[in-house]
Structures are given as structure tokens and as C-alpha cells.
């Protein structure tokens, strides 16, 4: 272990984005816009603020979506290295494959690239080094830990157990794995090549047994943007001042003066016609919302067309290029339905 700056991050971006379908049927999850910039760009901009200059993308599903989006090999000022898995290798397998492809041989960051947070990554690296840890994970508190990896620690921050997705009433703590890790290259040697290996279910428990895994508890902004509800939440947070004050309407979008746009985002090239009501809505680039329609607490995908007088609410998600009939009423719907 050295004191050299940590400048490389391995980002897990190869998942299928199942929870966000139909938006991810054609687009990788991390390439979806978050009030303008892609989710990936938001994550990398934050890492760049903490000294990251190179990001290794562990790619799988729709890898071309990333390589075509950044033809100059940079995003948010960070150099991109592409590592395309020949087959899905799970979290640890993907980290190992990508790190070795990029020649990583020093302390590095690894993270789930569908999490948007305000973690002080510099502080986390300093804690990792002062602890003499082989690996350090960020912990964040949640109300219901049953969907996550629960991580009790001792007074020094050493991880005592790593319990993946326990029943809510059996969880020993509500501090969960936040999906950002500082790792030494030796962790790669713990990952068996050529098969699927979970870092949460195999590698971390082995490190706990060897007393080499530490954790930093920090209660800051943390959003897993992998569901329609959280994707909507974090996108709007960039508009209302809780994260930023980005424009609610893209420069080249068209919004009729009679439309009501409240707590919503209208993407590039989108068109919102007369007397439309948008309330906590995401209108993705190129979409069209016909006159008199209402989109409330819902997401309209790229180039989709919402017919005149249609009503969408309760986290309805409309996929790319879909046409919704005039006067249609949709609630809690996914269109196309087979995308659920």
C-alpha cells in the first residue's frame, strides 16, 4: 500500500437494467439522462472532483451504447477504458476482469454506477489507508435494509459481518453497503477467474474472516437510481435546489406557453403542446406530449408520442418510440407491457 493518489475507478455498468424497463430495452441504464447529462456523466463528474482521472467501464449489456456516446474516449473530463465481458461474471468477476484488462496494479475505486451520492471519496481513501485495510466500503443508512447488504462494524470500523439482503426484522443494523469501494490489488487475487463471483456474497465475507475489510459510515445523499421511482426522484433533485439548479427545459425543447410544467424536466428536442399538464414528470429527449394531456409522476421515453388528452400517472413508464392513443388513461403502467 502506498500514499500515491487514487486516480483509477472501475465502474460496474454491465447490468441489464431490468427494473427500469422499458427505458433500458434500447439504452443501458447508466446512459439514461439525469436532468440532462447521462447518469454515467453525473457519477464521473463527482469522482473527478476527488482526483479520479481514469475510469474503467466493466461493460456487458449493450456495450456499444457507451462506446458510441463517447467517441473521444472521455466523459466529464475522465479518460475511459472499455472492458467488455465475454459473458456475465457477476460483481466481483466483472471488477477482476475490468481491472486486469486495464492493468490496474495500485489502490483503486470500484463502484456501482447507478448510485448517485455526495460521498467524500477523498475522506474514504484516507480512512482506508489509515486503517491498513485491504478493502473499505461505504455504508449508508436506510429505513428498510432487506433489499441490500447489511454491514455491522466494530468501534474501529472493521467489518464484523456481511449479510446480503436479510429479512427486515432480522437485520442487525440499518447501515447497508452503499456500493462504493476502495480496494487493494490483492483483492483481485481472491476472485476465481472464469466463473461468476459475487463480491457481496463471496469476496467480502472471506475478507471479513481475514479481518481485512473495513467500512466508513456516512449519512449523506445516496440514491440507487435503478428504479422508475428513484430515477425520477434523483432527476428532479437536480432541478429543485436539493442537488442543483439545472434547467428544467432543454434549450431546444418546445413548450407551449399555455402548458403547466411543475417539478418536471423536458429533454432536448422534446415538444410539449398547448394546455398540457406536467407534474413530477420526465419527458425524455425527442418525446412529444399532445395538447391537453397530463403526465403526472411518470416518465415518457425518447421519441415517444403521448396522444391528445391522454392521462398518465402513478409511475407510468412509456418506452422509446411508443405511441399512446388520444384520451388513453394509464396508471402504474409500463408500455410496452412485456417490458415489466
Active site residues: 165
DSSP-based three-state secondary structure for 186: helix
Handedness of CA 136, 142, 148, 153 (dihedral sign): positive
Torsion region of 292: left, alpha or beta (phi above 0 gives left; psi -120 to 50 gives alpha): left
Judge whether 253 and 302 are in contact, CB under 8 Å: no
Judge whether 55 and 9 are in contact, CB under 8 Å: yes
Output the nine-digit C-alpha cell for 167: 429479512
Output the nine-digit C-alpha cell for 214: 473495513
Rounded to 5 degrees, what are φ and ψ at 288?
-130, 135
DSSP-based three-state secondary structure for 121: helix
Strands (E) across 265-310 are located at 265-266, 271-272, 277-283, 288-289, 294-300, 305-306
Cis peptide before 82 (omega within 30 of 0): no
Query: Closest Cα to residue 264, out of 292, 298, 288, 241?
Result: 298
DSSP-based three-state secondary structure for 207: helix
Torsion region of 311: left, alpha or beta (phi above 0 gives left; psi -120 to 50 gives alpha): beta
Can you tell me the distance from the alpha carbon of 79 to that of 77, in angstroms, rounded to the nearest whole number?
A: 7
Can you tell me the distance from the alpha carbon of 58 to that of 81, in angstroms, rounded to the nearest whole number?
A: 9
* Bridge partner list, 334: 317
Can you tell me the distance from the alpha carbon of 340 to that of 330, in angstroms, rounded to the nearest whole number?
A: 15
Amino acid at each position: 500500500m502506498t500514499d500515491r493518489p487514487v486516480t483509477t475507478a472501475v465502474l460496474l455498468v454491465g447490468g441489464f437494467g431490468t427494473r427500469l424497463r422499458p427505458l433500458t430495452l434500447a439504452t443501458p441504464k447508466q446512459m439514461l439522462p439525469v436532468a440532462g447529462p447521462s447518469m454515467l456523466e453525473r457519477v464521473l463528474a463527482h469522482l473527478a472532483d476527488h482526483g479520479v482521472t481514469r475510469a474503467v467501464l466493466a461493460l456487458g449489456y449493450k456495450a456499444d451504447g457507451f462506446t458510441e456516446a463517447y467517441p473521444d474516449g472521455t466523459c466529464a473530463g475522465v479518460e475511459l477504458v472499455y472492458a467488455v465481458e465475454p459473458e456475465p461474471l457477476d460483481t466481483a468477476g466483472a471488477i477482476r476482469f475490468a481491472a486486469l484488462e486495464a492493468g490496474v496494479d495500485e489502490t483503486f475505486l470500484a463502484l456501482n454506477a447507478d448510485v448517485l451520492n455526495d460521498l467524500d471519496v477523498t475522506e474514504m481513501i484516507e480512512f482506508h489507508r489509515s486503517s491498513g485495510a485491504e478493502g473499505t466500503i461505504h455504508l449508508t443508512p436506510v429505513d428498510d435494509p432487506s433489499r441490500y447488504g447489511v454491514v455491522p462494524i466494530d468501534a474501529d470500523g472493521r467489518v464484523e459481518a456481511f449479510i446480503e439482503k436479510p429479512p427486515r426484522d432480522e437485520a442487525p443494523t440499518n447501515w447497508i453497503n452503499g456500493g462504493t469501494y476502495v480496494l487493494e490489488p490483492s483483492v483481485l487475487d481472491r476472485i476465481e477467474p472464469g466463473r461468476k463471483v459475487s463480491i457481496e456474497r463471496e469476496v467480502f465475507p472471506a475478507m471479513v474472516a481475514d479481518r481485512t475489510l473495513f467500512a466508513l459510515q456516512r449519512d449523506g445523499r445516496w440514491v440507487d437510481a435503478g428504479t422508475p421511482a428513484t430515477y425520477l426522484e434523483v432527476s428532479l433533485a437536480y432541478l429543485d435546489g436539493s442537488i442543483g439548479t439545472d434547467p428544467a427545459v432543454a434549450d431546444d425543447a418546445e413548450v407551449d406557453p399555455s402548458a403547466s410544467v411543475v417539478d418536471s424536466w423536458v429533454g432536448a428536442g422534446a415538444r410539449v403542446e398547448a394546455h398540457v399538464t406536467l407534474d413530477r414528470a420526465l419527458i425524455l429527449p425527442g418525446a412529444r406530449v399532445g395538447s391537453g394531456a397530463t403526465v403526472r409522476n411518470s416518465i415518457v421515453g425518447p421519441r415517444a408520442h403521448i396522444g391528445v388528452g391522454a392521462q398518465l400517472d402513478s409511475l407510468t413508464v412509456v418506452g422509446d418510440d411508443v405511441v399512446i392513443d388520444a384520451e388513453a388513461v394509464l396508471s402504474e403502467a409500463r408500455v410496452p407491457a412485456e417490458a415489466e
